[in-house]
Structures are given as C-alpha cells and as structure tokens.
Amino acid sequence: MIEAEGVSFAYGATEVLHGASLRARPGRVLGLIGPNGSGKTTLLRTLYGSLRPSAGSVRLDGTALSELSALTLATRLAVVVQEHGGDVPLTVADMVMLGRSPHLGTFSRAGGHDEEVAEGALLRVGALHLADRPFAALSGGERQRVLLARALAQEADHLLLDEPTNHLDVRYQHEVLALVRGLGTTVVVVLHDLGLAERYCDDLVLLQGGRVVATGTPAEVLVPGVLEPVYEVRVRRVEVDGEAHLALRPRDPARPGPAAGAVPAGR
C-alpha cells in the first residue's frame, strides 16, 4: 500500500501541490487524472521519493519513504517515467536487464534466472523480437514497452507509471494497460485519457491546481458533475453493451457551466 497524507511541494517559491492525500490499496490500480498542470506527475514523483514533500508524508506499507534505504525502495517500487534517456548506448536486452540490478550483489553478475526473468518481461510486453536492437534506435512506442519490461523484470510489488500509453497506438494502449491491470500488484498510474482511466483503473484521484478535488471509483469520479467544473467541457456518460463511455464536447459559450473548483474534495 502507498499512502500520501497532506503532501505539498514547491518549485522554488511556486507551490504546485497543496495538501494532497491518497491511498493506493494492495492489488488495485489507482489512476491520477486531471488537466495539464494539475500536479499529477509531481505527486507521482513524491510517491516514489524522487521529490521530497515540503509538507506531509508518503508511506510504503506503513513505513515513511525517508526511513527506507535506496536498495529497499528499488526492490519494492518499480517506476516507468517519460524521461527515458533515449540515447543510452545499450541494447534492449541490456536495458531490461537493468531491472534485475536491485536483486544482484555489488559484485554479482546476472545469471540464468535473471536472463529468464528479463526475457519473460519482454515477452509479456510483446517486445522480445527487439532484444538485440539498440534502445536508441527504437520508436517512442517501442521504448515505452521496453521500459515497462524493465519495470516488470524488477519484480517489485508496487508499480508507478507516468503516462505509460504516451506514443502508443490504440492497440498497444489497451494491451499495456490490460497487462498492468492483470499484474495483481499495487499500481499508481498517471493517465491523460479519461476513457482509459474508466476502463482500467479501480480507483481515481482527480487533481486540479495541485489539489485533490475528487476521489473514488470511476463510476463516482467520471461523471458530469465532477468533471465539467475541472475540465470545462460538457460531459455525457453513456453505457454501450454494458460498458460506461464518456462523450466530451466543448462547452457552449452561451451556456455558462458550474464554477471551477465547485467539486468537494474527497468525493
């Protein structure tokens, strides 16, 4: 379980998170959603210790991140971010093998088991055929799948992802998120696409201006009364073949909507 309580963070004098709280429960997928600049990525970075909150705390299974060693965090948390150092002179196989590093001693070399784990991770994301390719030569979508494979090779019980569907075509967006959902680990994922959040997340945290303005299941958060004040668009929630879908369209300027910020926190 990952818990954040009253987390704030500032870049210099500019505060970008204001008392954000959440709970990512074991075996569930928690989605962080919100408009651009709402603080999703910043909040995610505090959850894996890349950023230290100016106020509040983050705990991993009840223990503050600040009390855990870097090695412990590396064996418990796997992270997939958008900044992926695309020019590194490594093959895909070597990149994925980096995920085994936390399980090796200081002077240990990867063995047969590590190679099996790395190969299995590439197979699961549909990228085994890329194993001998230079990582720097891959497309954006291919890199995303390889980075997910590296995270899977880490065999951590918590997975954090920053827009993992970025650069992926529609097929791989669904394949990657279906894979993530089926892992059975605790997952926190930043998503831009509300339709994907509806389909693959168990719980959602909606941010606006660095504040949590709504939390709950997709059925509770992805509704017009919650989304329209935040995104400033008209929202219609419809069911097709038993599945919920969102229809979004620009708000009619002649019809003023509810004021932004009108959604109560903790919904």
pLDDT tens per residue, range 6-56: 999 998 888 999 999 999 999 999 999 999 999 999 999 999 999 999 999
3-state SS class at 21: strand
The pLDDT value recorded for residue 139 is 84
Of the candidates 136, 141, 147, 137, the residue with the CA atom closest to the CA atom of residue 87: 136
Would you say residue 194 has pLDDT above 50?
yes
pLDDT value for 263: 44
pLDDT reading at 168 higher than 90: no
pLDDT by residue (tens digit) across 47-89? 999 999 999 999 999 999 989 988 889 889 999 987 665 567 8
Residue spans of alpha helices (H) in 36-139: 40-47, 70-76, 92-97, 112-124
- For 100, the token pair is 């085994």
Q: Collapse the DSSP code of 207 into the 3-class scheme (helix H, G, I; strand E, B; otherwise coil) and give the result.
A: strand
Mean pLDDT of 135-146: 87
**What is the pLDDT of the chain when averaged over all its residues?**
87
Angstrom CA distances, 54 to 16, 50, 67, 191, 240, stand at: 11, 13, 16, 25, 45
Q: Give the pTM.
A: 0.85
* Location of structure tokens 């818990």: 3
pLDDT score of 255 more than 70 = no
